[in-house]
Amino acid sequence: MSTQGVTLKSKEELIEKWSKPEVITGSDVLLRSLLLEGAECVFGYPGGAVLYIYDAMHGFTDFQHLLTRHEQGAIHAADGYARSTGKVGVCIATSGPGATNLVTGIATAYMDSVPLVVITGNVATSFIGTDAFQEADIVGITMPITKHSYLVRKAEDLPRIIHEAFHIANSGRKGPVLIDIPKDVSAEKTLFQPVSEVNLRGYNPTVQPNKMQVDKMLRAIEKAEKPVILAGGGVIYSGAHEELYEFVTKTGIPTTTTLLGLGGFPSGNELHMGMPGMHGTYTANTAIQSADLLINIGARFDDRVTMKLKGFAPHAKVVHIDIDPAEIGKNVPTEIPIVGDVKAVLQLANAGAKRADKADAWRAQVSQWKATKPNKYKDSDVVLKPQWVVSMIHETTKGDAIVTTDVGQHQMWAAQYYPLNKPRSWVTSGGLGTMGFGFPSAIGAQMGNPDRTVVSINGDGGMQMCAQELAICAINNIPVKVAIINNQVLGMVRQWQEIIHENRYSHIDLAGSPDFVKLSEAYGVKAFRASNKEEARSAWLEALEHPGPAVVEFVVRKDENVYPMVTAGSTIGEMLMGDSE
């Protein structure tokens, strides 16, 4: 993978290098400040309002800038970089349409609490509000979907603003921060002085929990006969996977992980029940509905987890651990609220955690459900089954890849049939459900993890939304392995129309999609097609062995459904089991 001569330096080296005050442009201040925050790779697309910034990048080798082919590709790549590394993702776009093309990606990151710093250009300050060429009020447009926004008025403010932006993005409940820089500010000269302190009045997220509340949870565990842990993305974002493992091991509580929590607890562990919710496992959903104690650790009780709220976990006393107090009690009444960073809460809890001794019969019941009601499907040696494809990808990568997905049926099959045992190995759009996310997010994940295999599992619909980013994989030799589950239809919509709308199929036919092999080859990417098991395994193994990017199109039937499934208006205990019913 090309690094374009990047020479990363430590923060200490940079501070020493710039210890002597200099008068430089706002653009140079921006680049230096990004380096001081540890930016390794920036994803972007230039335009008129950011010309000075890109001029400052000319010959700049201290971090890598990856020129995407669409601004949405840039922000999804920054998102994938952030989710897979735990660092802040950075992207840059110009004013007007450049900035508005970032909106979907900002919303995606906001819904899933992903730390991004989004830098946009704007028209010169004297033109703001005049409807100037390529002007858009991006601060106003994105206000509901950013954690914080800045409109920079003076170049001298840039070091402080950038330092604050990184701090806000990656602390508390993480999220995207927007920095809008007018063109004249990026050209303005100022004395550069690095900033190392943050003083934000009114912003002080609660990290350390109330010990009394943690003790209440531990006493509840001692009394519980049917306890369940629901672990979400907060476990991964706080780096608490080891603490969660210790907590589950000490208490012996069966655990389910949400879509964004996958990898936060080992899938192969005997106490792991799989994913809950609309397409969750029979064991996870049934256990939640039967539980007398439900401990939510870093999840937000999303509607795809709870489904019909009235009737969700009807017998359970609820404990909710979250760094965002606004989430606690928002959807599900909570008896024991614990506000704090998940890692800090679990560290405190582990000091006094004891085995749930009254839950021996419960653990046996959960083991029986796992044994008798696993996720399963009708395999075939005639047609290629998407579930088999995902299982084959898991087998051939030894479960050690970083997996990104787009949104739809393939996303659920990947969640069900690619068991994950490591955190930050799963990158998917959860809250917003953004089609087009899967492939560019894999590019960002690969840039942040050059020594790991990155697999992007996509549908034929979502792949077309950002397929142009194949170009940068070819140009920069970014070795992402792309699997396209091609059923020539909007699969999840088709499934809903079949089950909920009595087979009234409306505007879901994608039969006019391109030949993905030819499309990939046109960009200079090696590609294969497979329509049976033998072809699929052979093509995939060749793709894995190929040193650069590779695409494999797996041709499957359009009538395959994702099961289990809970339909709208039903509780998670009312599952359609499909072939296993």
Confidence of residue 371 (pLDDT cuts 50, 70, 90): very high
pLDDT of 3 strictly over 70? no
d(C-alpha 279, C-alpha 176), whole Å: 28
Domains 11-192 and 386-562 agree in fold: yes
Query: Catalytic: 71?
Result: yes
The topology under which CATH files domain 211-373 is Rossmann fold (3.40.50)
- What are the distances in angstroms from CA 39 to CA 237, 246, 476, 552? 18, 33, 19, 32
Q: Residues 145-182, buried b or exposed e (16+ Cβ, 10 A)?
A: bbbbbbbbeebbbbbbbbbbbbbbbbbbbbbbbbbbbb
Which of 11, 16, 17, 133 is labelled catalytic?
133
CATH number for region 386-562: 3.40.50.970
Residue type, 565: M
- The whole-number average pLDDT for the span 120-129 is 96
Mean pLDDT for all residues in the chain = 96
Catalytic: 183?
yes
Does pTM top 0.85 for this prediction? yes
CB 173 within 8 A of CB 146: no
Catalytic site includes residue 12: no
pLDDT digits (tens, 9 = 90+) for 425-440: 999 999 999 999 999 9
Per-residue pLDDT of 515-560, as tens digits, reads 999 999 999 999 999 999 999 999 999 999 999 999 999 999 999 9
pLDDT tier for residue 9 given thresholds of 50, 70 and 90: low
Of the candidates 124, 117, 136, 36, the residue with the CA atom closest to the CA atom of residue 74: 117
pLDDT for res 33: 95
> 77 — phi, psi (to 5°)?
-65, -45
pLDDT at res. 7:
52
Q: Is the pLDDT of residue 370 over 90?
A: yes
3-state SS class at 173:
coil
Q: Which of 37, 40, 71, 560 is catalytic?
A: 71
The whole-number average pLDDT for the span 312-326 is: 98
Given 134, 365, 468, 488, the catalytic residue = 134
Q: Fill in the DSSP letter of residue 88.
A: P
> What is the mean pLDDT of the segment spanning 261-284?
98
310 is catalytic: no
482-497 per-position pLDDT tens digit: 999 999 999 999 999 9
pLDDT level of residue 5 (50, 70, 90 thresholds): very low
Burial of 237 (0-12, 13-18, 19+ CB in 10 A): buried
| Domain locations along the chain | 11-192, 211-373, 386-562
Q: Is 134 tagged catalytic?
A: yes
Among 111, 217, 307, 492, the active-site one is 492
The predicted structure's pLDDT at residue 580: 56
CB atoms within 10 A of CB 140: 10
Residues in the chain: 581
**Residues 87, 147, 174, 183: which is the catalytic one?**
183
pLDDT at 581 over 70: no
For the cut 90, the answer to whether the pLDDT of residue 306 exceeds it is: yes
- Give me the mean pLDDT over the 380-408 stretch: 97
* Chain segment 158-190, per-residue pLDDT in tens: 999 999 999 999 999 999 999 999 999 999 999
Q: Within its chain, how far is the Cα of 198 from the centroid?
A: 27
At 213-246, the pLDDT tens digits run: 999 999 999 999 999 999 999 999 999 999 999 9
Please tell me what DSSP assigns to residue 514.
-
User: Are residues 391 and 416 in contact, defined by beta-carbon separation less than 8 angstroms?
Assistant: no
Q: What proportion of the chain, given as a percentage, has pLDDT over 70?
A: 98
The rounded distance, in Å, linking the Cα atoms of 164 and 541 is 46
11-192: CATH topology is Rossmann fold (3.40.50)
Q: How many other C-beta atoms can be found within 10 angstroms of the C-beta atom of residue 308?
A: 16
Residue 8 has pLDDT above 80, yes or no: no
Contacts 24+ apart (CB under 8 A), 200-205: 200/164, 200/167, 200/168, 203/168, 203/172, 205/171, 205/172, 205/173, 205/323, 205/341
In the predicted model, is pLDDT for residue 457 greater than 90?
A: yes
The pairing of beta strand 426-427 with beta strand 402-405: parallel
pLDDT for 443 equals 98
